Structure 1
Amino acid sequence: MAARIEHLVTSGTFSLDGGTWDVDNNVWIVGDDSEAVVIDAAHDADAIAEALGDRTLRAIVCTHAHNDHIDAAPALAARTGAPILLHPDDLPLWKQTHPDRLPDGELTDGQQLSVAGVELTVLHTPGHAPGAVCLHAPELGTVFTGDTLFQGGPGATGRSFSHFPTIVESIRTRLLALPPETVVRTGHGDSTTVGAEAPHLQEWIDRGH
């Protein structure tokens, strides 16, 4: 059974720097009928577990440690026994949400995660958060960008732990270097492609989000 990508949207809140906002998050499941990984266990461990069914969960991969992307990770890990993986540069953010539960493993740039016969390559793409990563799956023609790149521009950089020049450099060097037909599956909202976003890089820089 070939690997496939499944998608669910969960709803909750995002909190940072004293503010709280209602958000809808994309949760991505990559796998086949027997095993899978979850990218960003957001808000609702029950809904994610239901979508997984009886498949073996190999890992819970965090694109970054803002609370809306990790709030359900410990509960999902407890239910499934899967390890939570996070880039260590995001540990300060992680500890704001889960001070008593550390991730189980580290993500590193260039690391490859295997599931259902496909490889997900970790790309460290700081800017939205210091430890933000994207996951490139060339066999599936896709990259999971978390909150680094959206349809229409970079992720937000107006709050703590973020930096606009850094996110632009991450997008320019790591994401826009991918094949233009690569589908960009984001942490919130609609998907896009590398080719659709690449022409707008200079506009983003000029706007200076």
Structure 2
Amino acid sequence: MTAGARIERLVTSGTFTLDGGCWDVDNNVWIVGDDTEAIVVDAAHDAEAVVRALGARALRAIVCTHAHNDHIAAAPELAARTGAPVLLHAGDLELWKQTHPDRAPDAELTDGQSLTVAGVELTVLHTPGHAPGAVCLHAPRLSALFSGDTLFAGGPGATGRSYSDFPTIIRSIGDRLLTLPGDTVVHTGHGDTTTVGAEAPHLQEWIDRGF
């Protein structure tokens, strides 16, 4: 790891709502930085819990991997309390408006964009499928990928609801994620971490079927 830089996980709890359904969920909030500054990946459910976890550090950005309500519910409050901008891919703006109709994101995430915090560079990878504007963040110097709900321990994110598509997520994973080093640690939106190498064999089966 880069000296001083670290990855911290905060788990928050709440609900995920879409297409008329509502489910209780636990979300991973990832904090990347050092003792001075940080970014937050997915401000889920509880802004106060994130503020406590940040402590005195300056928050440079609130990065949304996608705009399902469980991943963005606390983003506006966290932005108001810290002054940090909320960043979201434009492909997920319609989903964002379902949760926050009166507060737009502050800036767009774009494929290939670079974000830097505590000397660590994170590259934005557009990985549609779970949602149109879903992104992952790759931090090579930390051997880390922040995958949101695109890739989990055990397989791809869900695609059975509005705005999602299974062949698209499989192509995204094959083209953008399985090309990363096998020892890259995948920090997921829910549940346990995994590695690219651990997930590659069973995902390759779907890719080989022509998705």
TM-score w.r.t. structure 2 length?
0.96
**Runs of 4+ displaced beyond 2 Å:** 202-208
Counterpart Cα distance in 1 of 2:206 and 2:51 = 38
Query: One-letter code of the match for 2:138?
Result: H
Q: Percent identity?
A: 80
CA distance in 2, matches of 1:201, 1:26: 23
Residue in 2 that maps onto 1:169? 171
| Separation in 2, partners of 1:121, 1:204 | 26
1:103 maps to 2:105: yes
Deviations for 1:120-177, whole angstroms, at most 9, x for unmatched residues? 0000000000000000000000100000000000000000000000000000010000
Q: Distance in 2 between the 1:68 and 1:203 partners? A: 30
Point out where structure 2 has 5 or more consecutive residues left out of the alignment: none
Other-structure match for 2:49 = 47
TM-score in terms of structure 1 length = 0.97
> Partner residue of 2:35?
33
1:22 aligns with 2:24: yes
Aligned counterpart, 1:148: 150
Contact 1:35 1:58 in 2 (8 A): yes
Rounded Cα–Cα distance in structure 2 between residues aligned with 1:10 and 1:85: 20
Do 1:153 and 1:204's aligned partners in 2 also have CA atoms closer than 8 Å? Answer: no
- Asked whether the 8 Å contact 2:174–2:204 carries over to 1, the reply is no
Counterpart of 1:153 in structure 2: which amino acid? G
What is the CA RMSD across the aligned residues, in angstroms?
A: 1.4
Aligned with 2:70 (options 68, 71, 74) = 68
**Take 2:47 and 2:92, find their aligned partners in 1: how far apart are those partners?**
21
Residue 2 of structure 1: how far off its partner (Å): 1.5
Correspondence 1:11 to 2:2? no
What SS does the aligned partner of 1:200 have? helix
| 2:199 equivalent to 1:182 | no
Where does residue 117 of structure 2 map in the other structure?
115
- The number of residues matched between the two structures is 208
- Alignment-derived partner of residue 87 in structure 2: 85
